[in-house]
Amino acid sequence: MSPVSAFPTQPREGLPTPTTEVQKQTLLDYLTAFGLASQLTQEEKLQFMEVAQAFRLNPFKREIHVAVYGEGEYRRMSIVVGYQVYLDRAERTGQLDGWRAWVEGQGEDMKAFVEIHRKDWHSPFVHEVYWKEAVQRKRDGNPTSFWSKMPRFQLKKVAISQGFRLAFPSELGGMPYDPAELPDAESAMAATTIEAPAPEAVTKPQAQPPASETATPEPAPIQLIKLGIPPQAAPASSSMLTTGSRQAYQDPYPDESRDQILERLESFLAEHAESFTDRHYEWVMDKAHKAKDREGVLKMLSYSAKVVKNEAAVAGASA
């Protein structure tokens, strides 16, 4: 048996401290500060703000996090909370009288327990979660990176989150889940649609003598992420790609053909398989194969890089 996490509740004086109402402007400021305002649709913003205000969850305190991934019919949004939020809200009721969590067994037979004591209950509430039912796996059947690195911690988080929602249904019922409880595609990705970055992030082109007073200015280049190389380190010789919408993208692989970039994409997805479900992987590859030119494949490569880049940020919401 692994060490038991036991937490007695400290005596309270007076009434429990109420949670603070979260203002709409606070939520809008958060979405802007973290670059989410341009990634979410108006309906998604409204949904996030309604949930945050209904449960009085402050994103600046890492109590709630939102992530989007996919495009079109595959676009999904996940709203998650850290498991510490459940503990805090249960403590604020004044009815929590201590709790403990532990893990028994090894490997596929491992299971986590949480025991919760309420002052208004005669017996403790005990909840158990089985590894086989909770673990998130990659396409090859192996556990995802977080479940491989911290299997007991992940399993205990699931048990704690589920247990406290069951023991305090009036206070926690309907609250968003902890990322460890969600399918990997929804817990480990904060992928965005491929779009231009904020104006201040756009790389300004060097000034060029105007060909004529009426010449149409070239659009500012928007840099694609070159895998393994910071954006500022992209080669100066990178060529420029222009879309039909007149947005120019800096090509990080100007000497590679469409097929070579497609192979690069396949290798990248295989290397980061834990970040993509089967359906998401197939969607990315389908979009890339249907792309008419190199630019379309480059967009999917950049999109995939964003998925992986934001993985730690979403997982960190519950750390």
Strand order in the sheet with 5-7: 5-7, 96-104, 111-118, 125-130
DSSP-H helix ranges across 22-79? 24-33, 42-54
User: Is the overall model pTM greater than 0.75, yes or no?
Assistant: no
Instruction: Give residue 267's pLDDT.
Output: 82
Retrieve residue 211's tokens: 């060909």
Residue burial 107-122, b: 16+ Cβ < 10 Å; e: rest: eeebbbbbbbbbeeee
C-alpha distances in angstroms, 2 versus 7, 27, 62, 154? Answer: 16, 40, 28, 13
32 phi, psi to nearest 5 deg: -70, -45
- Mention every residue, 6+ apart, whose C-beta is less than 8 A from residue 259: none
Instruction: Give residue 122's pLDDT.
Output: 94
Helix orientation angle between 278-290 and 294-309, rounded to the nearest 10 degrees: 160
Residue burial 278-290, b: 16+ Cβ < 10 Å; e: rest: eebbebbbebbee
Q: Per residue of the chain (319 residues), what is the pLDDT tens digit?
A: 445 555 665 555 555 667 788 999 999 999 999 888 888 999 999 999 999 999 999 999 989 998 887 777 778 888 989 888 999 999 999 999 999 999 999 989 999 999 999 999 999 999 999 999 999 887 788 888 888 889 999 999 999 999 999 999 998 988 888 877 776 543 334 333 333 333 343 334 444 444 444 444 443 333 343 444 333 333 333 444 444 444 445 678 888 888 888 888 888 887 777 677 666 777 788 888 888 888 888 888 888 887 776 655 555 544 5
Q: What is the radius of gyration, based on Cα positions, of the chain? A: 24
Instruction: Give residue 257's pLDDT.
Output: 86
101 phi, psi to nearest 5 deg: -135, 145
83 phi, psi to nearest 5 deg: -65, -20
Instruction: Give residue 213's pLDDT.
Output: 43
pLDDT in tens, 245-280: 444 456 788 888 888 888 888 888 877 776 776 667
- Mention every residue, 6+ apart, whose C-beta is less than 8 A from residue 228: none
Do 190 and 310 meet the contact criterion of CB atoms below 8 Å apart? yes
Instruction: Give residue 11's pLDDT.
Output: 56
DSSP conformational letter for 200: G
**Rounded to 5, what percent of the chain is helix, strand, coil?**
45, 15, 40
Residue burial 125-149, b: 16+ Cβ < 10 Å; e: rest: bebebbbeebbbebeeeebbbbbee
Between vectors from CA 223 to CA 220 and to CA 224, what angle results, nearest 5°? 145
| Cα gap 31→53, rounded to integer Å | 14
List beta partners, residue 236. none
Instruction: Give residue 207's pLDDT.
Output: 45
| Cα gap 14→35, rounded to integer Å | 41
Instruction: Give residue 305's pLDDT.
Output: 81
